[in-house]
Each structure stands twice: as C-alpha cells, then as structure tokens.
Chain A
C-alpha cells in the first residue's frame, strides 16, 4: 500500500474523479504542499490519468508543490485593500523578508503570499499571519509582526 502516508485520506473519499479536489485539499493541509510522489497514488485512487491530477493541481492556487514556510504571511490585495494602500504593504513585506510574493525564504521559515480578499474588507488593509488576521494595517508594523525587527 501507499508509502506516502495518505492512505487514511484516500480512505475518506470515494474513488472517483469527483473527490479529486477534496483529496488534494487534505493532502495540502497535512504536508503544507503536495508532495510530488503522492499524485500518482491519487490518480490511481480516482481512476484518472496522472496528467489530469497535475492539471487540477496547477489550476487552483490553493495547491502548491513547494513546501510553505513555518510562518505564512498573506497580504490581501483585494480591491478594498488595494485602494487603502495594500501595494505599499506588499513592497514592505518583500523588503523585510527579502523574497517576492509566492516564495518561501531559503531557511524555510517564511512564505509570502498575496490573496484576493479574505472577506475582512471592513478592516482593510488586511494582513494574515498563519491564521491570525490583522486589520487596518500599516506597512511600518510589519517588521514587528514578523519578528524580524532589527
């Protein structure tokens, strides 16, 4: 049986194409990415070619093949946040972490992501660190928030 520790995930979902996205969500949640080796097993379980799984995995932004950092900093770039200066926060984050959006620092500690609205628009601009939301955010607060203050 599977050598990648996803047997229990597969067991939870019926083996059909319809389950594909839910299975990938569960794998992404467990490993913080989709380990390449798991996809063939998922394809077998759902009865679709591997290329189909790959097609789905690359279409949806919820999935990634590289492992996310221990701390994931997400910057909302939704319209409400944009008109309130989200771009400046993004630039500051890129400067502070030294990586572009969508990347993870080489030490694996931080990932920087941009999202399009998390539904907290009334407190725009919004930054989310792991699961914690921070509203009415100012770029200067970022260093402290990420524990990267000089």
Chain B
C-alpha cells in the first residue's frame, strides 16, 4: 500500500494510480481539460498542475501534472498553492486568448477570476484547444480516422489531407468527448455529417428511432464477430428486449 498526503489529507493507493484519480476520490477538485477516462493521459493542457515535495527535499518542491504523476510513498501533494494557482491562471489566459468562444474555457477562466483575456486574442481562433482527446479516443477505440497534424503553432486535428476519411465510421465518439464542442457535425433525420463525410443513420428495426450509421454497425460487427443487424436496434428497445445496453459494446 502506498501512503501519501494530498492537501494534508492522508490517501492510500494500492497500485500507483495517478494523483488526479486519488485526489478526485478524496473529493479534492483539480481542473482538467485534456483528461478523459477512456484514454491514456497526455499531459497537454497543463491545468492539473500540483506541487509536490518530500520532507527530505529541504523545502524544495516542483510542479507536476496530477493526471500523469503516479502515487509514491511519502509524497506531499498540494493542489492549490500560490505557485499552482498562478500557473493555472496563466495557462487559462493562454487558452482564453486562443479559443475565446469555447464555453468550457470561459467557465474555468471565470472561476479563476479572468473575465477579459490579457493577451492578444486570436479572432479566428476556433474552439479546439488541442487537448487531443478526440484523436486518442478515435485511435484507441475506433478506427484512427483523425490525427494531430503539423507541428507547433500550426498543429490541428484533421483527417488525412483534410479529405473525407475512408475509415471514419461516423460514430461521433470524437465529437461527444470533445470538452469544448469544437468538432462540427450535423444530424438531420437519418443523415449525419462529420469530418466532411455523410452517413446514413439506420432507423431502429423495432421502433424506427435513429440507431447507428451503417459503417459503424459494419465495423463493430466485424470486430465483435456478430451480425451487422444486431446493431440496428436502438438502446431503448434493446434494453426492453435483453436488459443489456448496446452502448457497452462500443466502449
């Protein structure tokens, strides 16, 4: 058993979980934007910074990202020192200048007392803060249709050559997991469009409500070794029939 303290509270971890997990379990709030339960941590947004030290460090301490730092015996973790808060505020300033319209960013910034960005605002800035959740979700759980492209300031999320991707199945996992609603999509009855590609959403064979796209059903059927048709029953009807949720299949 690993024992450590977070904000003075004693916490325990059996297998070296990340500090973020432990803090949340202890009810200590640490803001995050690039953390997502379904994927490996990336350490991209730098909001979850905490200060760590040890008695034998003689007063020396350092900042680390809670989402990536594993629990260690005897560690002293502080989540809201002046150093942590200043760093967090400065990161939020940068995010606000980048994506001034992103709701999640504005809300967090406001929480930290920032209403007007102090840096030059990118008027063309879209809502994408490059947290990389969407690309990690798609690569880990779906087909890897999108990726981070370019380097540095030119970095963005896109399909290869910004063209409709051959392998995107239109599952919307990316758009749903985006913290800032930065991924454009549209759904109009039985038609769905995302990443420049249009999909047909098959109606539920029982009640007629939209289920999944044909491509997604085909992809899942292939992966699970079951019939494509199994996926053309909506959640509600499936629960009614079997007591199982079809969502589970995917995640």
The SS class assigned to the B binding surface is: loop
Q: Is A18 an interface residue (CB 8 A)?
A: no
Can you name 27 A-B pairs with beta carbons within 8 Å?
A36-B161, A39-B160, A48-B144, A49-B143, A49-B144, A49-B147, A49-B167, A50-B165, A50-B167, A51-B144, A51-B146, A51-B147, A51-B159, A51-B160, A51-B165, A52-B139, A52-B144, A52-B147, A53-B160, A54-B160, A54-B161, A55-B148, A58-B150, A58-B151, A59-B149, A59-B151, A61-B151
Cα of A111 to Cα of B148 in the assembled complex, Å: 27
Contact B150 A50 (CB under 8 A): no
Q: Contacts of B167 on A, CB cut-off 8 Å?
A: 49-50
Q: Contacts of A39 on B, CB cut-off 8 Å?
A: 160
The distance from the CB of A4 to the nearest CB of chain B, in whole angstroms, is 16
Cα of A61 to Cα of B151 in the assembled complex, Å: 9
Residue interface mask A36-62, B partner, CB < 8 A = 1: 100100000000111111110011110
Give the number of A-B contacts (CB < 8 Å): 40
Cα of A39 to Cα of B147 in the assembled complex, Å: 15
Interface size range on B against A = 10 to 19
Cα of A36 to Cα of B151 in the assembled complex, Å: 19
Q: Which of B116-164 contact A (CB under 8 A)?
A: 139, 143-151, 159-161
Cα of A126 to Cα of B148 in the assembled complex, Å: 34
Q: Contacts of A52 on B, CB cut-off 8 Å?
A: 139, 144, 147
Q: Which of B171-203 contact A (CB under 8 A)?
A: none
Cα of A48 to Cα of B145 in the assembled complex, Å: 11
Cα of A39 to Cα of B161 in the assembled complex, Å: 11
Contact A58 B144 (CB under 8 A): no
When C-beta atoms are compared, the residue in chain B nearest to A61 turns out to be B151
The distance from the CB of A127 to the nearest CB of chain B, in whole angstroms, is 25
Q: Contacts of A53 on B, CB cut-off 8 Å?
A: 160
Cα of A60 to Cα of B159 in the assembled complex, Å: 17
Cα of A74 to Cα of B131 in the assembled complex, Å: 35
Partner of A50, one of B148, B151, B166: B166
Q: Contacts of A55 on B, CB cut-off 8 Å?
A: 147-149
When C-beta atoms are compared, the residue in chain B nearest to A48 turns out to be B144
Contact A58 B149 (CB under 8 A): yes
Q: Contacts of B160 on A, CB cut-off 8 Å?
A: 39, 50-51, 53-54
The distance from the CB of A21 to the nearest CB of chain B, in whole angstroms, is 14
When C-beta atoms are compared, the residue in chain A nearest to B154 turns out to be A58
Q: Contacts of B148 on A, CB cut-off 8 Å?
A: 55
Partner of B139, one of A36, A49, A60, A61: A49
Cα of A38 to Cα of B211 in the assembled complex, Å: 36
The distance from the CB of A48 to the nearest CB of chain B, in whole angstroms, is 8
The distance from the CB of B52 to the nearest CB of chain A, in whole angstroms, is 32
Q: Contacts of B143 on A, CB cut-off 8 Å?
A: 49
When C-beta atoms are compared, the residue in chain B nearest to A39 turns out to be B160
The distance from the CB of B136 to the nearest CB of chain A, in whole angstroms, is 12
Q: Contacts of B144 on A, CB cut-off 8 Å?
A: 48-49, 51-52
Best-surrounded residue of A39, A51, A55, A58 (most CB of chain B within 10 A): A51
The distance from the CB of A33 to the nearest CB of chain B, in whole angstroms, is 14
Q: Which 6 A-B pairs have the closest CB atoms?
A: A49-B144, A51-B147, A54-B160, A55-B147, A58-B149, A58-B150
Q: Contacts of B166 on A, CB cut-off 8 Å?
A: 50
Contact B149 A54 (CB under 8 A): yes
The distance from the CB of A79 to the nearest CB of chain B, in whole angstroms, is 19
The distance from the CB of A15 to the nearest CB of chain B, in whole angstroms, is 17
Q: Contacts of A54 on B, CB cut-off 8 Å?
A: 147, 149, 160-161
Contact B145 A51 (CB under 8 A): yes
